[in-house]
Amino acid sequence: MAPALLAAVVLAAAASLAAHVALNCPVKPLPSPPPPPTPPPNNLLQRLERLGEGALDAPEDVYVDAAAGGALYTATRDGWLQRMHPNNGSWERWRFVGGTGLLGITPSADGTMLVCDADKGLLRVGEEGVTHLASEVDGSTIRFADAAIEGSDGTVYFSDASTRFGFDRWYHDFIESSATGRLLRYDPRSGKTSVVLDGLGFANGVALPRDEAFVVVCESSRFRCMKVWLKGEKAGKAETFVDLPGCPDNIRLGSDGHFWIALIQLRSPWLDFITRWTFTKRVVASFTGLIEWSKGTAKGAMVAQVTEDGNIVRILDDSEGKVINFVTSVTEFNGDIFLGSLATNFVGKLSLAQVIQQEQ
């Protein structure tokens, strides 16, 4: 091919690409924070046991009821809250909510379950059915309800991951990095919802320490958790709780006062490359095939144990996702941790005794 003709072909292809991106790009990307360094792998998560394998469709969050002897609850993509009986390990479809967007679950003091439905908002699920608690705040729709925790006074703190994209387009929010997530507060006495903190980079897991002096909310796209003081001289002020080597998803308080945090591993040479510039973000986001392919390049699972002061105690991982991938939640009970994931058909269970023995 003659040089002039080759140049013309290249220019035509570039013009076509530019036109396609201009007309079809669904994101308005901003620069992403640089990804944190990854610690050396230990692959301790590869030792886990698989609970309910084949019966659970992407169990995103997991809750263990100590009062019921260790009954395990999760929500799956078929619209069910499912329960595992601790005496024999059998599973049952416990409550039907419907939809594909059931995410965070947490118990309420009245015996019901609080559920974040990404599409419908904050729900209360009990024997009498499903009650909608919050679907908007300050006239704005709650587009992506993600995780919740109830305080001792009945106040519910929950996250709205993005005001730009819903659950089915969560990856667009990651690519865009526009930080429109919010931490919300639901008051059961007034029935009103208010904003505690906004401008969050994909607001995700929410947790309270034992004294409820502050509330923690995870910022997945900024690789950190924030805390907002609820008591004392700093009440109402926000500050960084902990920086992490991954995208924090759900967070739960452990029996020893430490927090367990699931860290999504949205890292690969390709992802690190495309998130470096807004132009490459726009190009990838404009093609469905590139979006799906780039998501598939991220492999691995990781969880962190963090003190109440925000210090990392330990990191556990499956560096290549050989046994479990894309861990979205971790909860500790009776010497074990239980792992939820949007990429599996089981809940993982790992004995902490094995972890401690390996670390010695």
**152 CB contacts (<8 Å, ≥6 apart)?**
109, 212
Percent residues over pLDDT 90 in the chain: 86
Domain assignment of residue 188, yes or no: yes
Distance CA 112, CA 126 (A): 5
Domain assignment of residue 6, yes or no: no
CATH of the domain at 174: 2.120.10.30
Side by side, the strands of the sheet bearing 113-117 are 102-107, 113-117, 121-126, 129-134
Determine the structural domain holding residue 34 and report its residue range: 26-357
Residue 20, pLDDT > 80, answer no
Amino acid at 130: V
pTM of the model: 0.94
Domain assignment of residue 10, yes or no: no
Task: State how far the alpha carbon of 11 is from the alpha carbons of 4, 6, 20, 139, in Å.
Answer: 11, 9, 14, 47
Percent residues over pLDDT 70 in the chain: 94
Distance CA 50, CA 56 (A): 11
What confidence score (pLDDT) does residue 5 get? 58
Amino acid at 303: V
The 10s digit of each residue's pLDDT in 180-218 is 999 999 999 999 999 999 999 999 999 999 999 999 999
Domain assignment of residue 245, yes or no: yes
What confidence score (pLDDT) does residue 306 get? 98
Q: Which range, of 30-34, 45-49, 55-59, averages the lowest pLDDT?
A: 30-34
Domain assignment of residue 13, yes or no: no
What confidence score (pLDDT) does residue 24 get? 78
The 10s digit of each residue's pLDDT in 138-178 is 999 999 999 999 999 999 999 999 999 999 999 999 999 99
- For residue 7 the two structure tokens come to 């140049």
Domain assignment of residue 147, yes or no: yes
Number of domains comprising the chain: 1
160 in Cβ contact with 218 (< 8 Å):
no
Residue 318, pLDDT > 80, answer yes
What confidence score (pLDDT) does residue 18 get? 64
